[in-house]
Chain A
Amino acid sequence: MADALAMDKVDAGYGGVQVLRGFSMDLRAGEVLCLLGRNGAGKTTALKTIMGLVRPTAGTVRLGAVELSALPAHEVPKAGVAYVPQGRRLFAELSVAENVEIGLNARKKGNDVRESVLDLFPILRERWRQRSGTLSGGEQQMLAMARALCLEPSVLLLDEPTEGLMPSMIARIRETVASLKARGVSTILVEQRVDAVLSVADRVAFVENGRNRETVEVSRLRDEPGLVKRYVGVG
């Protein structure tokens, strides 16, 4: 499969603190790649670097032929990358409808895109006029994903989408990631829950000290549970 997105020897950090050190990674078209690692390993920084929120001091980030690291942050979504950050970050004062509308307007998408996105999250139709800050955690996560999908991205970045959700919602989010994969969306998933990873991911990249130590097929992870223990500390 061709690479949808590639990070090549990227150094990045915050002020004087370097977080990513020669970080390399490739995301194949149509796959779900999971970044696993301990807290502070650099997973979220890798996503922020892709989005241009953290500027790399060395290396490149490419989406096909487009060098994302050369674009201003607001141009990255237009190139086809959508990001759902940790903690949802909705526009809490706006309604569900207005949140979705802002997502649609960003790339001037029409009602067909809205309907297609709402088909993935039918509960949002019932909450359409409700202020988004009053939704449950799971519904907020769905809205955050719906808003990102309004951009019709080719690559979706999800940062701990199941954090703090109840099991039924986690299952729902997992199903959504699987149906997005079926639609051909390539996804990078940052997760702490290994069980969630095994059920949806194709490959897993182990992140440690700002480096991608190893990228393996999920099938190998099932055969060698010691791998997870080595990099994440839990089996």
Chain B
Amino acid sequence: MSERARIAALHLAVIALLFAAQFVLPAYHHGIVSRVMVLAVFAIGYNLVFGYAGMLSLGHAMFFAAGMYGAGLPVYHGGWGIGPAFLFGIACGAVLAAGIGLLALRTSGVAFMIVTMMFGQVAYLLALWFGDWTRGEEGLTIAQDLRVVGPLDLTDPTTRYFVALALFSAALLASLALVRSRFGRTLVAIRENEERTRMLGYDTFRTKLAALTVSGALCAAAGAAYALLFGYMGAGFANVPYSILPLLWVLVGGAATVIGPFVGTLAMFYLTDLSNDLLNRNFPDWDISALGIVGLALVLLILFFPKGVMGTVRARWLPWLP
């Protein structure tokens, strides 16, 4: 089997596995996996900028929130249809990312991290400032009758699962195509040595701006889907922890691997969930957070899988893994 066929087969197998899982998963896990698939799209968008282009952003929650509010508010306040609202949400994230990129990409390294975090905080404070529209941290719930597209009722768990799977599949395959294209190779070259890439005649600013815009659009698609599928939007999603989470998911799954963001999101969701469960069942009187167990697991992961799960798999066993 050629390398190209092997790569295609692996990614299609992941999608097929998720499709089949719908028929066997218990209701509780069914809901979790739907949520993981949507948030994995957020991580895929983040991975493009962090994993492939080597830019550590601490403000990506603003793109997720732009998609969430861009799609959710028109539905909630304006009675928009789901389709146009979803597309508008993506456009909001892309435009915001392009605008932020024009300013933030004048910096690099630690300065880029701080500037993006600063913009992220501005976005969070704006969500609180316009509390009359957003209801701030408390958030808004989109009524069930507004979350219907033709025959599809997005509140139905099965429909929700398939819509989440469709979005995840599209993002995964788009990410695969992107990183294997000339554009993707240029991003890796920038990550490896930006000055050298410029010396070969590449306009690295424009390339990074394009990457940030696509990343913003993907994160916004996740945010828009989250609002429309799960019917909730709140300012908390624009706050710093939601910028750190995709970084964590990508690091756990493997930065600069196409499947890594999904693996990392899934692993972190279940790790947190199982840790909570373990503590509640066995030590109900102990006043400790599940995050302690999560932290310990992360330390072990860094010791034994320093490049994240899929990054280590690639380094040790599957060098062809994109």
CB-nearest residue of chain B relative to A102? B189
Given contacts A91-B192, A92-B192, A98 and B185 within 8 Å (CB-CB) = yes
Most buried by B among A53, A94, A105: A105
Given contacts A91-B188, A94-B185, A102-B186, A78 and B193 within 8 Å (CB-CB) = no
How far is A72 from B198 in the complex, measured between Cα atoms in Å?
Answer: 10
Most buried by A among B193, B196, B201, B204: B201
What total of A-B pairs shows CB separation below 8 Å?
A: 60
How far is A106 from B189 in the complex, measured between Cα atoms in Å?
Answer: 12
Interface residues on A, range: 20 to 34
Given contacts A85-B196, A91-B192, A91-B196, A74 and B204 within 8 Å (CB-CB) = yes
With both chains docked as a complex, state the minimum distance between the C-beta of B311 and any C-beta of chain A, in angstroms: 11
Q: Are A77 and B200 closer than 8 Å at their CB atoms?
A: yes
The residues of A that contact B185 with a CB separation of less than 8 Å are 94, 98, 101-102, 105
How far is A85 from B196 in the complex, measured between Cα atoms in Å?
Answer: 8
B133 at the interface (CB under 8 A from A): no
Given contacts A94-B188, A105-B182, A74 and B193 within 8 Å (CB-CB) = no
B202 at the interface (CB under 8 A from A): yes
User: Chain B 183-227 against A: per-residue CB contact (8 Å), 1 yes, 0 no?
Assistant: 001101100110111111111100000000000000000000000
Given contacts A94-B188, A105-B182, A89 and B196 within 8 Å (CB-CB) = yes
Given contacts A89-B193, A105-B182, A77 and B188 within 8 Å (CB-CB) = no
Q: Are B199 and A85 closer than 8 Å at their CB atoms?
A: yes
How far is A92 from B193 in the complex, measured between Cα atoms in Å?
Answer: 9
Q: Are B189 and A73 closer than 8 Å at their CB atoms?
A: no
How far is A93 from B199 in the complex, measured between Cα atoms in Å?
Answer: 18
With both chains docked as a complex, state the minimum distance between the C-beta of B133 and any C-beta of chain A, in angstroms: 42
Chief secondary structure at chain B's binding surface: helix
Given contacts A93-B188, A94-B185, A106 and B201 within 8 Å (CB-CB) = yes
A25 at the interface (CB under 8 A from B): no
With both chains docked as a complex, state the minimum distance between the C-beta of A129 and any C-beta of chain B, in angstroms: 9
Within 8 A of B (CB), among A189-205: none
Q: Are B192 and A74 closer than 8 Å at their CB atoms?
A: no
Interface residues on B, range: 10 to 19
Q: Are A93 and B186 closer than 8 Å at their CB atoms?
A: no
A147 at the interface (CB under 8 A from B): yes
Q: Are A74 and B198 closer than 8 Å at their CB atoms?
A: yes
CB-nearest residue of chain B relative to A94? B188
Given contacts A91-B188, A91-B189, A94-B192, A106 and B200 within 8 Å (CB-CB) = yes
The residues of B that contact A107 with a CB separation of less than 8 Å are 201
User: Chain B 54-67 against A: per-residue CB contact (8 Å), 1 yes, 0 no?
Assistant: 00000000000000
CB-nearest residue of chain B relative to A72? B203
From A51, A90, A92, A106, B202 is in contact (CB under 8 Å) with: A106
How far is A147 from B196 in the complex, measured between Cα atoms in Å?
Answer: 11
A138 at the interface (CB under 8 A from B): no
With both chains docked as a complex, state the minimum distance between the C-beta of B219 and any C-beta of chain A, in angstroms: 25
How far is A198 from B193 in the complex, measured between Cα atoms in Å?
Answer: 33
CB-nearest residue of chain A relative to B206? A74
The residues of A that contact B195 with a CB separation of less than 8 Å are 53, 89
Most buried by A among B189, B197, B200, B203: B200
The residues of B that contact A85 with a CB separation of less than 8 Å are 196, 199
Q: Are B200 and A151 closer than 8 Å at their CB atoms?
A: yes
A23 at the interface (CB under 8 A from B): no
With both chains docked as a complex, state the minimum distance between the C-beta of B200 and any C-beta of chain A, in angstroms: 4
The residues of B that contact A94 with a CB separation of less than 8 Å are 185, 188-189, 192
With both chains docked as a complex, state the minimum distance between the C-beta of B257 and any C-beta of chain A, in angstroms: 12
CB-nearest residue of chain B relative to A105? B182
Query: Which 7 A/B pairs are nearest by Cβ-Cβ distance?
Result: A77-B201, A91-B192, A106-B201, A106-B200, A89-B196, A74-B198, A74-B203
Interface residue ranges, B against A (CB under 8 Å): 182, 185-186, 188-189, 192-193, 195-204
Contacts beyond the supplied A91-B192, A107-B201, A151-B200: 9 A-B pairs with Cβ under 8 Å:
A51-B199, A72-B203, A73-B198, A74-B199, A74-B203, A75-B201, A76-B201, A89-B195, A105-B185
Interface residue ranges, A against B (CB under 8 Å): 51, 53, 72-78, 83, 85, 89-94, 98, 101-103, 105-107, 147-148, 151
